[in-house]
Amino acid sequence: MRTSAKARSLTNTTPNSSKEVLCDCNLMWSLIQQMSTKRLCSLHGPNTGSIIPVYSDRARRIAATYARFYLETEEYGNPDKKGRFYWMALGAFASKTVACSLDDIRVTLLDTVFKGLAKGNLWLFYDISGWHWYYTRFRSSFDQCVTCRDASLYIKPVKEQVASYPWKDDALSKIKNMHEHKYIVEGFNLVKQIESESRPFNRARLQLQHLMAIAQHEQGVILQPLIYENPDFSFWVSSQRKSFVRLFSPNLQLTFSHACDTGDDEHKSVAPETTILEDLRSRMDWIQSTASQFDRLMRTQKNYMENELKVISSWVDRQERSLPTHHFSPM
């Protein structure tokens, strides 16, 4: 990572004059992609850095970013609109869960699963953070540009950055260069309704609809083709359902806490034993149940849930460990 995107205009000799520069959607998306790049880098100067090397550290910084989006403490957020990015709150707990899995020796020993989880977590972030940063930073042009995102068309400096992303050859083709936007449009149309809805019951209903629309994008558009349809990943995931293997595998659960586990069953969602994780429909059944439990806790224990999210949000500046995995090549 080295240069920032630039737009050029001719200068003149008139003091304090200005000239309007028109930026097309592709330049706007290129600017947004740099924000996602920068968030996962250790910076060595104003425009130089290397990607955080430890997978679980990345996942925690991703969780922190999601929590900040929900809490409206992320750059360009609006505290008066807290609650509009409802998926982000659940996404923060989910990415924290991925971080815990990536630190679990039972997972690290299975290289395919270990790297698959890291790849899915990373590329979901590159995709999902971009839509949210664009909406919060360039709201006036979001509707015009939401259908125009395409990583293959980014301006040259940003395209070169993306070319240095881990697993980019495998990922970009499978997630169609981050262009798919059906559920994104649906989800952000619901965001607009949430922003203008003052009646608590109606707002709650819209929030859950928004969460599930973004979850459909997360699971069906990004994670299903990227990791769950990988034959090796699918094989190892399915193997963990066998009774003699399950004894040595982490529980399939999501904990509504900044901690990796909790003794309080109310604050965790454990997947039913019938869940076939690599099957989209089966996985979405569990996610629907988890979303309902999450939503109930957000209504009845909001202070607890938001305090946990505040702890997670503090990880955005967490000091990373240094292990030799992927690094960004300077441009």
The residues, any chain, with a CB within 8 Å of residue 257's CB and separated by 6 or more, are 93, 267, 268, 308
Confidence of residue 330 (pLDDT cuts 50, 70, 90): very low
Mean pLDDT of the region 146-160: 96
Q: Which of 37, 58, 168, 173 is nearest to 118 (CA)?
A: 58
What is the DSSP-derived secondary structure letter of residue 44?
E
Whether pLDDT at 184 is above 50: yes
* Beta-bridge mates of residue 255: 268
Whether pLDDT at 31 is above 60: yes
pLDDT tens digits along 232-286: 999 999 988 875 666 567 889 999 999 999 989 999 999 998 999 999 999 999 9
Question: What are the structural domain ranges in the chain?
Answer: 56-317
| pTM beyond 0.85, yes or no | yes
The secondary structure of 267-304 as a DSSP string is GEEEPPTT--TTSHHHHHHHHHHHHHHHHHHHHHSHHH
Mean pLDDT of the region 152-157: 96
Whether pLDDT at 325 is above 50: no
Mean pLDDT of the region 9-31: 70
Could you give the CA distance from residue 17 to residue 57 in angstroms, rounded to a whole number? 46
Q: Say if residues 49 and 155 touch (Cβ distance below 8 Å).
A: no
pLDDT, residue 243, reads 59
Whether pLDDT at 17 is above 60: no
Name the region of 99 (left: φ>0; alpha: ψ -120 to 50; beta: rest). Answer: alpha
Whether pLDDT at 128 is above 50: yes
pLDDT tens digits along 33-90: 999 999 999 887 767 788 999 999 999 999 999 999 999 999 999 999 999 999 999 9
pLDDT, residue 70, reads 98
* Buried b or exposed e, range 14-31, using 16+ CB within 10 angstroms: eeeeeeeeeeebbbbbbb
Q: Say if residues 32 and 134 touch (Cβ distance below 8 Å).
A: yes
